Structure 1
Amino acid sequence: MKSTTRRTLAAVVTGVAAALGAAATPAAAAGAIPVPVPLDGAETALGMELPEVAGELPVLTPGAPEGPRYVEGRLLPERTLPQLPVSGGLPGVDVRQPLPHVLGDDFDHAAVDAPAAGLRALAPGLSLDAPLSAPDGEGAGLPTTKLPQAGVLAPVVQTVPTAGLGVGPGL
């Protein structure tokens, strides 16, 4: 293959990789992806006003787990199977329903707004210890036997969801 052909091919591959990276960055940078629910066709077919519905789907991003910690006196590290952190969010929704002036002329719609809430989670982990102690100076430097230890690191979920309910003019 000629060097000119190689350079052209390298330039094309580089350009495609840059374009794909630039296209993927905005979706990953956003905490949630908006999801509109089109009901215009149903409104036309039914001949009535339907609610406006929109949602948000979170983008989950796994983090780097903390590595095992070595503790004096144990043969195995403290976190044998570390917990994996995951951050993302809860899905959000925005619904607006038209009202036929039931509450007066100033109230044309009822709305529920529950935006996507941040979410932080840790997967369960495992901590084990061998049935042998660490070698010591007594007994010719050989380890002694002991009861094995096993522990489960509980999963953790942290979030603060919010929602709003209201009525007002206009849709």
Structure 2
Amino acid sequence: MKPTTRGTLAAVVTGVAAAMGAATASPAAAVGTVPVPVPLEGVEQTLHMELPTIGGQIPLPTPGNLDGPRYVEGRLLPDRAVPQLPISGGLPGADVRAPLPHLLGDQFDHVGLHLPAADLHTLAPGLSLDAPLTPPDASNAGLPGLKLPEAGVLAPVLQTVPGADLVAGPGL
């Protein structure tokens, strides 16, 4: 086999392997949230005291599929002239755990707050319009008639179920 043929074959095999690996790997957007730690270890060492541990999650919004215009019999314009855009994401989460020192003794208790990132589904507002004309009428020589124009705003939608856990107990 010629060196150029071997190089071309190696490039094709490498490209196919990379494409297969990318198809099976989960991208960062599929994770849903990005963890955000708050590093306080340096402050603890500097001040010689226990500080709270803090972390959080930031959601990644992802747009959904549009529910396009619907054509309705008897109307000149589609039912949803400006469709609603669905967006899925989440509410940010947080984890806080703070030490509670005893006044007498070296032991610590703790208090913790866990706010998990909650799913959030939204629909942007939409618009529904109809022209001030009727469809062509055979009894009127095929000309459309007049009617009152119609306009409607599709209300935005917001769905989520947030939750929280508050914990207190012995130990760190």
Query: Considering the TM-score relative to the shorter chain, is it more than 0.5?
Result: yes
* Corresponding position of 2:147: 146
Preserved contact between residue 107 and residue 167 of structure 1 (Cα < 8 Å): no
Can you list the C-alpha shifts for 1:120-167, whole angstroms capped at 9, x where unaligned?
Answer: 100111111112111122201211122222222111111111112231
* Corresponding position of 2:16: 14
* Corresponding position of 2:158: 157
* Structure 1 Cα separation of the partners of residues 137 and 34 of structure 2: 58
Shift of 1:116: 0.6
Shift of 1:119: 0.7
How many pairs are equivalent?
169
Pick closer, same or farther for the CA change 1:22–1:138 going to 2, 3 Å. same
* Structure 1 Cα separation of the partners of residues 108 and 162 of structure 2: 27
Q: Please, which moves more after superposition, 8-17 or 126-135?
A: 8-17
Q: Does 1:71 align with 2:72?
A: yes
TM-score by length of 1: 0.86
* Corresponding position of 1:115: 116
Pick closer, same or farther for the CA change 1:150–1:106 going to 2, 3 Å. farther
Question: What do you get for the CA RMSD once the two structures are aligned?
Answer: 2.4
Unaligned runs of 5+ in 1: none
Q: Percent identity, please.
A: 60
TM-score by length of 2: 0.86
Unaligned runs of 5+ in 2: none
